[in-house]
Amino acid sequence: MILAETARQSAIYLAHRYYKVPLDRKFTMQSMTVDAHLDRLTIGSAVGEVVLDAQVTEFDRRRGQLTGFAVDLVYHLGNALAGTARATASVLTRDEYEIARWPGDRDRSMGPIPQPDAVARSEVCAPDDGAVTLGRHAAGSGDGRWRLRVDLSHPVLFDHPCDHVPGALVLEAARQASRLRLGWPCAEVESITMRFRQFLELDEPTTVTAVPSHDLGCVAVSFDQWGVEKASGSVRLSITPASTDQPCVGTQRACR
């Protein structure tokens, strides 16, 4: 997950530093794909330095200003390839963001944020109760459905004001939903892909659905509000001898 956050920050930094994007511009992430070589990221008690190679591609410009781009990253730890990532983003002026964020006569005021009862942190290997991003769904979780938990006081997921559910929370919830669905509480993420289609509202109930694939360790995850799918993707969890004892039955292909 650190590789994913690094990709997000790298995209923003590169746009400002090398493509003269003004600091008042708004970035909206369109997609994120991360593949990690977990065995090469293990450093134990040693000091490890990860080096990034980044290439910005697929430019969209309007009147000479960057309006969209993709960034491809390669992570090296020592002499070993540790992972890759690709992120695509749109760049908006404040006025453009306001139009995209609040179309038509949409009310900008925020109502009470739903707080469903959290799943047990032991089920998702969360370090504390505040790190649990999933709650019980009213219809039950037997078919792989949960409610998203939004905690504006979380020091990492909400380290700055945000008027919508941030991508970092979506990615973390996808990881936890995959662990829950497969019954692998502490399995590490080998790869994750997410497509962000619409803004997820903070004060509307979000259903997180996880469907296992025929590929062991792979799960398709979607996020919807009032029946509208706003983000979706796939997660591949690392397969360990202990985790493969758990059944994995599904009907979708979630991973490559």
pLDDT in the model for residue 92: 96
In a domain? residue 160: yes
Q: What is the domain extent for residue 48? A: 1-102
Q: How many CB atoms lie within 10 A of CB 222?
A: 19
Q: Among residues 102, 122, 142, which one ends one of the domains?
A: 102
Same domain, 146 and 248: yes
CB atoms under 10 Å from CB of 85, counted, come to 25
The structure tokens listed for 236 are 């591949």
Cα 32–162–105 angle (5° rounding)?
100
Buried b (16+ CB within 10 A) or exposed e, 3-38: bbebbbebbbebbeeeeebeeebebbbbbbbbbbee
C-alpha–C-alpha distance, residues 15 and 68, integer Å: 10
Q: Are residues 149 and 250 in the same domain?
A: yes
- The model's pTM is 0.90
pLDDT of residue 21: 95
Tens place of pLDDT per residue across the chain (256 aa): 889 999 999 999 999 999 999 999 999 999 999 999 998 887 766 667 889 999 998 788 888 889 999 999 999 998 899 999 999 999 999 999 999 998 877 777 788 898 899 999 999 999 999 999 999 998 776 679 999 999 998 888 888 889 999 999 999 999 999 999 999 999 999 999 999 999 999 999 999 999 999 899 999 999 999 999 999 999 999 986 555 444 443 434 446 5
* Same domain, residue pair 22 and 120: no
Q: Is residue 17 part of a domain?
A: yes
- How far apart CA 248 and CA 239 sit, in angstroms, is 12
**Distance from C-alpha of 54 to C-alpha of 72, rounded to nearest angstrom:** 6
Burial class for 220, CB neighbours closer than 10 Å (0-12, 13-18, 19+): buried
Q: Are residues 71 and 121 in the same domain?
A: no
142 and 197 co-located in one domain: yes
Give the number of domains in the chain.
2
Q: Which CATH number fits the domain that encloses residue 255?
A: 3.10.129.10
Given this model, what pLDDT does residue 243 score?
A: 53
Please check whether residues 184 and 231 belong to one and the same domain: yes
Claim to verify: residue 46 and residue 128 sit in the same structural domain: no
In-domain check, residue 128: yes
- For residue 117, being part of any structural domain is answered with yes
- Judge whether 107 lies within some domain: no
Is 82 domain-assigned?
yes
Residue 50 sits in the same domain as residue 85: yes
Q: Are residues 120 and 203 in the same domain?
A: yes
* Domain-terminating residue out of 58, 81, 102: 102
Do the domain assignments include residue 108?
A: no
Same domain, 61 and 125: no
The confidence score (pLDDT) of residue 244 equals 47
Question: Are both 180 and 242 inside the same structural domain?
Answer: yes
Q: Of 57, 78, 102, at which residue does a domain stop? A: 102
